[in-house]
Amino acid sequence: MDKLIITAAVCGSAPTKQQNPNVPYTPKEIADEALAAWRVGAAIAHIHVRDPETGVPVTRLDLFAEVTERIRSESDLIVNLSTSGFHLDGPDADEVRLLPLELKPDLCSLDVGSLNFRGGVFVNSADWVEGTAKRMRDAGVKPEIEVFDIGHIRQAMHLIDRGLIDDPPWLQLCLGISWGIEATVEALLEMRRRLPQSAVWSVLAPAAAQLPITTHAMLMGGHVRVGFEDNLYLEQGVQAESNAQFVERTVTLARSLLREVATCEEARAIIGLSGGEG
């Protein structure tokens, strides 16, 4: 069983300081949260950026660049920049989503399949998904394939079978997101069953589902994502003070389950990024 890769998803696009005052907005706050998570065991930082004043989700190259520079100046964290376009509209939205590729991050998220989501529709057309996979491959950026339902795995398999995704494919199984697949052990087992043999996979689940679903993933040999993007509470009624608290809890649990935690260098090798040991 591979060592456990922990991703810290430090702010996402939805949580606000009104919900939890510790949610980071500014590039410095976001980078500081990522670095604190790295110090206690996270190997990947999944990054969205916010308007520094209002906290509204934005796709601004200058903000992504500042966060990335701050992280890389102090750590060997694997940087995973979001290409989510849920907050974007207009004729150029599909192209704006890909601005983070200019920064040559280690990873970029690639959402495959569309979804009814937060009172709207998260649109990821087949043409956009295929074109983005090609753009990421040409840019030397590995996609983190985000799948919210079983049909999304089928679409991911289509990309893999056509050679648009380099081995090993890296998939994030997103459970419990309305209206995708539910956050149950049965759903996790079925998603895992459908993955290609070569896949390296991680799991996320929101709110109260985070701890039980990520625990089962650890036992199954998968990797995990934790942090403010998915959960603001360590337990019922107790708000988390930092992303690092979620990572620390995950490290403690992994050790109890006799699962070693991967360093950034080891995570690079597992995922198939340059710079990892063979």
pTM equals: 0.96
Q: Is 35 helix (H, G, I), strand (E, B) or coil?
A: helix
Residues 70/28, Cβ–Cβ less than 8 Å: yes
Joined together, the tokens standing for residue 224 give 């995990």
Joined together, the tokens standing for residue 210 give 């985070």
Could you tell me the domains of the chain? 6-270 (3.20.20.70)
Q: How far apart, in whole angstroms, are the C-alpha atoms of residue 259 and residue 4? A: 7
19-55: pLDDT as tens digits: 999 999 999 999 999 999 999 999 999 999 999 999 9
Q: Is 55 left (phi over 0), alpha (psi -120 to 50) or beta?
A: left
| pLDDT for res 156 | 97
Q: Is the pLDDT of residue 244 over 50?
A: yes
Q: How far apart, in whole angstroms, are the C-alpha atoms of residue 252 and residue 218? A: 12
62-115: pLDDT as tens digits: 999 999 999 999 999 999 999 998 787 778 889 999 999 999 999 999 999 999
Instruction: Report the run of H or E that residue 68 belongs to, with start and end.
Output: helix 61-74
Instruction: Report the run of H or E that residue 40 belongs to, with start and end.
Output: none
Instruction: Report the run of H or E that residue 166 belongs to, with start and end.
Output: none
Q: Is the pLDDT of residue 277 over 80?
A: no
